[in-house]
Amino acid sequence: MSGGRPHPSDCREVLDRVYEYVDGELGPHDLDLIRVHLAECAPCLRQYDLEALVKQLVRRSCQEDRAPEALRLRIVARISEVRLTAES
């Protein structure tokens, strides 16, 4: 996807982690790798821009509707259960 220009990071790897990048969930090293790749790879940057726009639109349309706290707690508990099962 890089248009022939070699990159230290693979486009597939970058696009697999684009949601983590958009959500600010990456550590400093991965953040820098993806930031550099996006600065050099127009197709990946377009995909990132699309994902960032979708996130912005969802946030804007959902900002007034908050899930009940009990639901949030159930979701967090279930995520913990799934993680424990996956680690076993």
Q: Tens of pLDDT along 18-35?
A: 999 999 999 999 999 999
Enumerate the domain spans of the chain. 11-87
Three-state SS at 57: helix
**Mean per-residue pLDDT for 50-60?**
90
Instruction: Read off the pLDDT of each residue in 7-26 and give the average, rounded to a whole number.
Output: 88
5 pLDDT above the threshold of 50: yes
Alpha-carbon distance of 43 to 33, in angstroms, equals 16
